[in-house]
Structure 1
Amino acid sequence: MLDIATAYNKYKFLGNDFLTWIWFLIETDQKISPLLKTKDVVTLDVGNSIVLENKLGDKSKEKITIKGDQAGLEEGTTALKKGAWVTQINLTCKINEDKYKFTIKGESFNITGLKTPKTELSKKEDEIEGLVLEKSFFCFKIFEVIDTLFLKYLEQRTADDWNNKGLQDVKNWIGSF
């Protein structure tokens, strides 16, 4: 059995690979809802920031950060061509009519800055518990989407035809820039 530090170092690329795969899904207009096997209509879009990292041969790293609502992703696509991975991405997720915004980090899968749909504020003490439960429900919805997408990614990544199909599709996407 691998100890935690060894397992972490051996598989830490998976988070960044997953985020790059999500960007691929978004940019190639692949439908998210069928992957999640849900009746909900789920869409993902790149938000206002993306961070890529490229490990250089001399143990140094090149870090590319793209921020802004109207920022172009050309620098990011160039970095992908050079072998970079997405290490952090800001996403907008729409589940039916509910809109969520958050940032996810590849190395730790931390979700930060989560903005859930608005709830009606109430000062009545007996309604506060319901509001907390509603906010918790919204948080769990986003966790469910990310967890299910990660499982679908792992399914594809470990499939026998990954090198011929999935990886080739991502390489073709990167090569199309």
Structure 2
Amino acid sequence: MGILSNTVSICQFRVAGDIPSGDLFTWASERLARQGFQSIEGSSAELSVGWVHLDDNRESDFAVPAAFWRDHYLTFTLRRDQRKLPAVLLKAYLQVAEHEHLAANPGLSRVPKQKREELREAVRAALLSRTLPVPTSWDAVWDTRTGLVTFTALSPAIIELFEAQFKKTFEGLRLVAVHPYARGTEVVSDDLLSALEKANQATSEAVLDLIRSNRWLGTDFLLWLLYRTMEESSEYRVRRPGPAGENDPFVAYLNDRLVLQNAGENGVQKITVAGPQDHFSEVRTALRNGKVITEATLYLEREEHVWRLTLKGEMFQFASLKGPAVQIEKDNTVDGASEREAVFFERMHILEEGLQLFDSLYATFLADRLSQGWGSESARIQEWLAGE
């Protein structure tokens, strides 16, 4: 599902490195075109990866602003076409080729190793040329005001492919994942930043270390939110900049689905609790037995608007994020291109408001977690888990 879909899975990155001064359009246009997608139809190539237009994944020419420029956003889509041969098919055709070779060379009792490799490559190339490539694509939006890049995939392999393609395209720049600790440094109040840095359990600035050593941020946040969902007010205030007004009220709570896990002698054990919850009794039992919440369905509500998403606690990735439906009023004076642009801006407004609410919620948690009153809050949570 693309960035324009009402339901989309996203992760975010911050761009590291110096963006050249001067004409940003020309700089980005040349680099995107240089790494534009090249079709492999009519050939036997297995794989092609490159950039295409957000609105049309058949187009890879970035010569005009309409191709990828939306005010302060750069938009581009990563397209991958790949041919795949079933192993059983390759084996069957290779056996036929070997039989034909032995029939043509009656003095041989078996195909020599080198010849067998040649036959394999010939059969593979012939089959690939008769196999249609399967296209897949993932959207990216680069907000040049904030330096944030939003990408519509959560698969580690696809994220790695995107990071590599971005780095190859924009020389001197790289993407750094916005993980819980990184997000914390951006949303926490200035007076608590030193407390967050002190609570950092990583021993280096390496991204992987910051993620793995600070898993407690995700698990503590989800436990705190679960407790507040059941025992305290679910109303919060907007604390971060964005489309919603400062100090506007909103509601946040967990429901429907939670994933818990722990690491024991027999490896990682995971349980999923699904369906509307009244008292989260099963979840509380699992938490008492040493499990932690790693994933949960989160609802964010402001006025009549509702955002629903599955939050992955380790990386703060947002799966199946569904916001208010985009509604654009049409009239006879609006052409297709203008309508698509209007849908894009409305969609980004909705996504950014949902993320603004999430960041405000996370900032509220950090204000509690890093304050001197956390000991009392933690004790109340433990009493609730114990059923006291």
TM-score range normalised by the length of the shorter chain: 0.7 to 0.9
1:49 to 257, 271, 276: 257
- The aligned counterpart of 2:358 is 146
2:275 to 64, 68, 91: 68
- The aligned counterpart of 2:378 is 167
Higher-RCO chain (CA-CA 8 Å, sequence separation at least 6)? 1
Aligned to 1:33, the other structure's residue is in SS state: strand
What is the percentage of aligned positions where both structures have the same residue? Answer: 23
Deviation of 1:113 (Å): 0.3
Q: Radius of gyration: which is bigger?
A: 2
> 5 Å matches for 1:8-157?
8-34=211-237, 36=239, 38-56=246-264, 58=265, 60-69=267-276, 73-120=280-327, 124-125=335-336, 126-157=338-369
Question: Residues 88-139 of structure 1: CA distance to partner in whole angstroms, max 9, x if unpaired?
Answer: 0012221110011111010010001011111225584223222211111111
| Contact persistence 2:238–2:357 (CA under 8 A) | no
Aligned to 2:374, the other structure's residue is in SS state: coil
- The aligned counterpart of 2:77 is none
| Contact persistence 2:254–2:298 (CA under 8 A) | yes
Aligned to 1:93, the other structure's residue is in SS state: strand
| Contact persistence 2:234–2:253 (CA under 8 A) | no
Question: Residues 18-74 of structure 1: CA distance to partner in whole angstroms, max 9, x if unpaired?
Answer: 111111111113243247485433112323211011233x37332110123479732
Structure 1: state its 5+ residue gaps.
Answer: none
| Contact persistence 2:307–2:324 (CA under 8 A) | yes
State TM-score, norm by structure 1. Answer: 0.84
| Contact persistence 1:119–1:131 (CA under 8 A) | yes
| Contact persistence 2:261–2:271 (CA under 8 A) | yes
Alpha-carbon RMSD across the aligned residues, in angstroms, is 2.5
CA distance in 2, matches of 1:39, 1:14: 24
Mean CA deviation greater in 46-55 or 63-72 = 63-72
State TM-score, norm by structure 2. Answer: 0.41
Aligned to 1:7, the other structure's residue is in SS state: helix
Q: Give the aligned length.
A: 175
Aligned to 2:325, the other structure's residue is in SS state: coil
| Contact persistence 2:237–2:248 (CA under 8 A) | no
Counterpart residue identity of residue 30, structure 1: S
Aligned to 2:217, the other structure's residue is in SS state: helix
| Contact persistence 1:40–1:96 (CA under 8 A) | no
- Misfit runs of 4+, over 6 Å: none
Structure 2: state its 5+ residue gaps.
Answer: 1-202, 241-245
Counterpart residue identity of residue 254, structure 2: V
- The aligned counterpart of 1:158 is 370
- The aligned counterpart of 2:5 is none
